[in-house]
Structure 1
Amino acid sequence: MPTIHYLTTADAIAEAAAHFATLPRIGIDLEFDDMRHRYGRHLALIQVFDGQEAYLIDPLPLPDMAAGLEPLFAVLREPAVAKVFHSCKSDILLLDEVFGVNCRNIVDTSVQFTLLAAEDNNISLGRLIQSELGFEVDKGEQKSNWLKRPLTDAQMEYAANDVLYLFELTDRLTTRLNELGRGEWAAQENLALEAVRYGRDDPRPWSRNAAKYKISPSEMPIFRELYMLRDSVARQLDRPPYHVLSNDRLAELARQPIENANQLRTANGLHPELKRSPYAEQLLAIGTTDLAPEAPLPPEQRKFPFRRRLNGPAAARAEARETLLNALKTHLATDHGTTMANMVLSNRLISEIIEQGANAALRPWQQQLLRESAERHGEDYGQIAEPF
């Protein structure tokens, strides 16, 4: 095991960051708590590999986390230093959400592996290490509490393993991609990761859960108010919302609300705080008040699928585009295999191409494969190239 440096002060982090800034690349990973042990998303650890040694950067002891980590964030923003991740989207979303950091020059080993078009194109780091390097690493600490201190030796070893093999993995995958003529494909996909941003404006955060539990329009007002009450209590307690009220119980209460003090006293599955003032009164009010129905979203916030906005000749044109795209997907599967066909023309991308056109919705490498298959099978790529 290489040397592991455990950094807990702003001065030590600044010194390490100055070293990282001189390197052509670093391996990096983040450990964070996402509504598992506390309310919200909290950075717990940053792991960095410089090619020789591992650095575990602990942000929790810092008096001002953002200020103490700023020298490292400057390196993440610096395009001259490549940042090698595995499956980086959660990490870069957290950096953007909590600190406003836009990571530049990303190399994602998950992206690289996906472009090899193996049968399993959604691979964990542990399985990728086993597949490419031939040994197993212990992943037993994956779901441990990363906000608890002190970190155990097992946690430190686990965290270091998340970065120690990234250079070897990306070098191997780069070689294989170049042999297949797909090195530029990976460059395009990695560049696109720089544009990934955290979506801060969700006007109805309860809607996804409501859809999952098939909440009816008549049940929606109660579900909405319960969801918001749960969130308020969770925030006040600094606990994940499911500690206050599970999703299953939330749906049950939307269908059979608590309407009197006796029901509240004997109700199961509620955090004790929900049975105390002022939340007890709010919970009873939800079950006994005529609540306002869901108001229509303002036009600028509506996200109706493009096809739902069409009728008549326009709908027929869209259907013709979809038919052609499905035919092209079949041709891609014949030419390059099912995995690659799904990467070029997933259901989501087909919907986007119908509206935006392939030239806008697809990366250049995807456009190239699609155009070549269209020509090979006598289809007209031009019919789906431009916006609807």
Structure 2
Amino acid sequence: MTIHFHKVDLPAGLDLGKRVAIDTETLGLSLVRDPLCLVQLSAGDGDAHIVQLDRTSYDCPNLKALLADEGVEKILHFARFDVAMIARDLGVTLRPVFCTKIASKLARTYTDRHGLKDVAREIAGVELSKQQQSSDWGAGDISEAQLKYAADDVLYLHQIRDGLEAMLIREGRLEMARACFSFLPTRAALDLAGWADADIFAHS
């Protein structure tokens, strides 16, 4: 495994293929208050690329071009949050998306444990550490432990995606999952507009 750390933007000409695993690190979990700090990516080849963003401008044309490319499938876990953060701070709508958390909830109905740690353990056979989950991602210097944590969040998503897709096909739920994935930009827009906790489909 190699972790490639990039300041501000991805290098020009980097080809990560037609399926890219993506995750983000933010200063906190508020869509109103907390800025986007890092974006990490993997082509599923055992390497991770981590971009520390310039939060004064978010000027990262190479990264934005990749994220905006609708010929590239973006694989994320709990994509709802990342799609919203990327739309808000980078001005990019992610599509198409494969969300492994939604896929897990639709396929793994025998459990209520759908966090990345649990899904990675079952589907990919790896044990992920979450020790750095609450660390300071806005710091100027990112530690080796933080880089390892950030990389782990994308390194296994291709394998998890494929395992969950097979389960969705087996249970006849793949088209339902795809419809949910397609709705994610709208769900993120609702979150950003203030309807994060409201069920607009409810009768009451």
Aligned-pair identity (%): 25
Q: 2 CA distance for matches of 1:104 and 1:133?
A: 25
Match of 1:19 in 2: 15
- 8 Å CA contact 1:97, 1:198 repeated in 2: no
Structure 1: 4+ residue segments shifted above 6 A: none
Q: 1 CA distance for matches of 2:108 and 2:51?
A: 35
Cα offset, 1:105, TM superposition:
0.3
Q: 1 CA distance for matches of 2:27 and 2:190?
A: 16
Tell me the amino acid that sits aligned with residue 55 of structure 1: H
User: Are 2:176 and 1:180 aligned?
Assistant: no
Match of 1:270 in 2: none
Q: 1 CA distance for matches of 2:7 and 2:26?
A: 16
Q: Could you say if the C-alpha distance between residues 119 and 148 of structure 1 is closer, same or farther in structure 2, counting changes exceeding 3 Å? A: same
The answer for unaligned runs of 5 or more in structure 2 is none
Q: How does 1:115-130 map to 2 (within 5 A)?
A: 115-121=106-112, 123-130=114-121
Match of 1:324 in 2: none
Q: Could you say if the C-alpha distance between residues 349 and 159 of structure 1 is closer, same or farther in structure 2, counting changes exceeding 3 Å? A: same
Match of 1:190 in 2: 181
Q: Could you say if the C-alpha distance between residues 112 and 5 of structure 1 is closer, same or farther in structure 2, counting changes exceeding 3 Å? A: same
Name the Cα RMSD after superposition.
2.6
- 8 Å CA contact 1:6, 1:57 repeated in 2: yes
Match of 2:7 in 1: 8
Q: 1:149 aligns with which of 130, 140, 145?
A: 140
Q: Could you say if the C-alpha distance between residues 200 and 105 of structure 1 is closer, same or farther in structure 2, counting changes exceeding 3 Å? A: closer
Q: 1:46 aligns with which of 39, 45, 59?
A: 39
Which secondary structure does the structure 1 equivalent of 2:203 belong to?
helix
* TM-score, length basis structure 2: 0.86
Which secondary structure does the structure 2 equivalent of 1:176 belong to?
helix
Q: 2 CA distance for matches of 1:125 and 1:27?
A: 13
Q: 2 CA distance for matches of 1:84 and 1:33?
A: 22
More strand by share: 2
Match of 1:166 in 2: 157
* TM-score, length basis structure 1: 0.47
Match of 1:114 in 2: 105
Tell me the amino acid that sits aligned with residue 29 of structure 1: D
Match of 2:28 in 1: 34
> Bigger CA drift: 80-89 or 115-124?
115-124
Q: 1:101 aligns with which of 84, 92, 99?
A: 92
Which secondary structure does the structure 1 equivalent of 2:137 belong to?
coil
Q: How does 1:309-328 map to 2 (within 5 A)?
A: none
Cα offset, 1:82, TM superposition:
0.2
Q: Could you say if the C-alpha distance between residues 122 and 194 of structure 1 is closer, same or farther in structure 2, counting changes exceeding 3 Å? A: farther
- 8 Å CA contact 1:112, 1:173 repeated in 2: yes
- 8 Å CA contact 2:44, 2:156 repeated in 1: no
Q: 1 CA distance for matches of 2:40 and 2:53?
A: 11
Q: How many residue pairs are counted as aligned between the two chains?
A: 199
Whose radius of gyration is greater, 1 or 2? 1
The answer for unaligned runs of 5 or more in structure 1 is 203-207, 209-302, 304-346, 353-388
Cα deviation 1:277-330 (Å, max 9, x = unaligned): xxxxxxxxxxxxxxxxxxxxxxxxxx9xxxxxxxxxxxxxxxxxxxxxxxxxxx
Q: 2 CA distance for matches of 1:35 and 1:168?
A: 27
Cα offset, 1:349, TM superposition:
4.4
> Bigger CA drift: 189-198 or 176-185?
189-198
